[in-house]
Amino acid sequence: MTDDEVLVRIEGRVGRLTLNRPQALHALTTRMCEILTQALLAWKDDPAVDLVLLDHSGERGFCAGGDIRMLAESGAADGKAAREFFFKEYRLNHLLFDYAKPVVTIMDGVTMGGGVGLAAPSQYRVATERTTFAMPETGIGLFPDVGGGWFLSRMPGHIGLWLALTGARLKAADCELVGIATDFIPSDQVEAFKAAVVAGPAAIETLLTQFEGDAGRPRLAEHQDEIDRIFGLGSVEAIVEALQHSDSDWSDDQLKALAGKSPQTMKVAFRQLALGGKAASFADNMEMEYRIGARVVQRHDFIEGVRAVIIEKDNAPKWDPPTLEGVTEAMLDDIFAPLPSDDAWSPLTPP
């Protein structure tokens, strides 16, 4: 099951999964999703494995997302490879969410997009002082997928929507505040922690307490009231208008952030979180997100966003429609509409 992009082994009574694509900040490929899924399925009922430990090689970051270039190239063609990636990635996300054994994910460094999809469903999510969490998809005409509709909508107040629309980055203390991290361990203690877990996985709760460090004060706390007041409004247009009438440096910064995002996918994210917050199950949420992903990946804004931000790096995407007002409810209805039954997403294991 192992190849160079994911290292798979059993140490003691611990299944070890190590992302190993450092040149791309461990961005997920379809093959990586397949390897991770195969290992988790093999260990699910294996009495020799008590716990799964998910980490990355090197020091640059846990996982920066998915293989965006492949998705854009596929989206510009027939979209088949992009849909296959989403289908398998979302099955992996769901498998982690429902996994019967403890999964410990080390979110050391960059944890964005697809990396969040691996970390967020894990039972134990360990941040370090190097952790940087974000869901920056609206900046490339995509949307905060991999379970964002479920996890972001269940964060305190309206922080999740703020993160989805602005792509704001959080450090460790803020990750603990919003629940994306369950624990904080200083990076210079992580290797010792992992060795201790391998030596005694049954003691995971005690070890997390033993190695726990102080992440500091969450900077986000000082803006929570403002986020709840403004990002709790009923539309993206209302949020922008409220920011325009809010006399603070913070609101000006949010306006600048939103100005660079795709109007289409900001409205997609707004509806996605509203529906995800009401979803009866994580599987229902992922079925919805697959519908969105299968369509958005072939739309103008994603192809253009990747060109502007990832490929040519001029950071001047020309969105279509160029304004929030131009994104109609009918357009959103098309993106969210059910897929034919043969094309719909389904989990590996029935809910």
pLDDT at 5 over 90: yes
The tokens 């920066």 sit on which residue? 64
- Residue 143 CA to residue 138 CA, distance in Å, equals 5
Is 176 one of the catalytic residues?
no
DSSP 276-335: HTT-SSHHHHHHHHHHHHHHHTTSHHHHHHHIIIIIS-------SS-SGGGS-HHHHHHH
pLDDT at 2 over 50: no
pTM given for the model: 0.96
Q: Which band of pLDDT confidence, cut at 50, 70 and 90, is reported for residue 350?
A: low
- Catalytic position from the list 66, 75, 147, 305: 66
Residue 296: alpha-carbon gap to chain centroid: 17
pLDDT one-digit tens code per residue, 108-150 = 999 999 999 999 999 999 999 999 999 999 999 999 999 999 9
Its CATH architecture, for the domain 6-343, is Alpha-Beta Complex (3.90)
- Catalytic position from the list 67, 108, 145, 183: 145
- Catalytic position from the list 137, 174, 183, 304: 137
pLDDT at 349 over 90: no
> What count of other Cβ atoms lies within 10 Å of the Cβ of residue 318?
11
Where does 144-214 have alpha helices with state H? 148-151, 159-166, 172-178, 190-199, 204-211
Query: Which SS3 state, helix, strand or coil, does residue 351 take?
Result: coil
Is 200 one of the catalytic residues?
no
152 in Cβ contact with 98 (< 8 Å): no
Residue 348: alpha-carbon gap to chain centroid: 20
Among residues of the chain, what percentage have pLDDT more than 90? 96
Q: For residue 311, count CB atoms less than 10 angstroms from its CB and return exposed for 0-12, middle for 13-18, buried for 19 or more.
A: exposed
**What ranges do the domains of the chain cover?**
6-343
Residue 1: the pLDDT is 43
pLDDT at 19 over 80: yes
> What region does 75 belong to: left with phi over 0, alpha with psi -120 to 50, or beta?
alpha
Least Cα distance to 348 among 22, 98, 73 occurs for 98
- Catalytic position from the list 114, 117, 139, 276: 114
Residue 54: the pLDDT is 98
pLDDT one-digit tens code per residue, 270-298 = 999 999 999 999 999 999 999 999 999 99
Q: Which band of pLDDT confidence, cut at 50, 70 and 90, is reported for residue 247?
A: confident
pLDDT one-digit tens code per residue, 48-97 = 999 999 999 988 899 999 999 999 999 999 999 999 999 999 999 999 99
Is 160 one of the catalytic residues?
no
DSSP 3: B
Is 145 one of the catalytic residues?
yes
Q: Identify the sign of the CA torsion 332, 334, 338, 342.
A: negative
